[in-house]
Amino acid sequence: MVDLQLQDIYIYPIKSLGGLSVQEGEVQETGLRYDRRWMLTDKEGNFLSQRTHPQMALLQVSLLPGALMVAHKKNIVSPITIPFDATTRREVSATIWDDACTALEVSTIANEWFSEALQAPVQLVVMPSTTRRLVDPVYAKNNEIVSFADGYPFLLIGQASLDDLNGRLEHPLPMNRFRPNLVFNGGAAFCEDSMHTFRIGNITFAAVKPCSRCVITTTSQELATKGTEPLKTLSCYRAVKNKIIFGQNLLHSGSGVIKVGDKLTVQQWR
């Protein structure tokens, strides 16, 4: 039997900004608590990401009691504190890929701060509990919902997979290039590709779709500069139907708290 253990838990409260490592996470219906509940959009409500705005990597989010704090890694602007419940109550239509859903504007102060930090007119929105954004029905099992994540509540990557990649690169890369929620140790490289269902604590997870990777993986999360790796190397051995695969998108059933060090028990392999 393969011994697998949860090594890291990451949340990204504001979509495409710097994430943070936590020792435990509360699993809710949409995924981890606070994960991608906030998002930056343009004035038309279209989501922003590091694909088009790599400088978003320089904005680091932290959790405070009752609030988010966002700081610029190069201190171009002073940090801002955003209460969890801050909202102007103005409803806006927010678009993520092909999905449009109802969001709430957070505050004019937040809009001004992020516009200055990114040198572009943007607004910060939050997803209210009344919004139910459905996972792609092609992969959903029970009308699951998701926050402002690209499409799924969780992304899983094995540490051995990154180790395998780094063994092929001239300059090793950190896991933050791939923005996972869950990282496990143990097992062979890319064994997550063969997982069908597994449990962590009382929660069951199902790997439903390999994660196809984009140019965000080529952006340094410390410098916001772009390169060619890891996509150049991954394209040589991780390309499937013209898509580069690294990690598995997950659905889940159940709620509760998961902790670093928890055992990951595979129930069914593919």
Secondary structure (H, E, C), 150-219: CCCCEEEEEHHHHHHHHCCCCCCCCHHHCCCCEEEECCCCCHHHHEEEEEECCEEEEEEEEEECCHHHHE
Alpha-carbon dihedral sign for residues 188, 190, 195, 199: positive
Model-level pTM? 0.97
Tens of pLDDT, residue by residue, the chain (270 residues): 679 999 999 999 999 999 999 999 999 999 999 999 999 999 999 999 999 999 999 999 999 999 999 999 999 999 999 999 999 999 999 999 999 999 999 999 999 999 999 999 999 999 999 999 999 999 999 999 999 999 999 999 999 999 999 999 999 999 999 999 999 999 999 999 999 999 999 999 999 999 999 999 999 999 999 999 999 999 999 999 999 999 999 999 999 999 999 999 999 999
pLDDT of residue 1: 65
Give the CATH superfamily of 4-269: PK beta-barrel domain-like (2.40.33.20)
Q: Kind of pairing, strands 182-185 and 4-11? A: antiparallel
Note whether 104 and 86 are within 8 A (CB). no
Instruction: Give the residue extent of every domain in the chain.
Output: 4-269
Q: What is the 3-state secondary structure (H, E, C) of 2-52?
A: CCEEEEEEEECCECCCECEEECEEEEECCEECCCCCEEEECCCCEECCCCC
For residues 217 and 210, the answer to whether their CB atoms sit within 8 Å is: no
CB atoms within 10 A of CB 19: 20
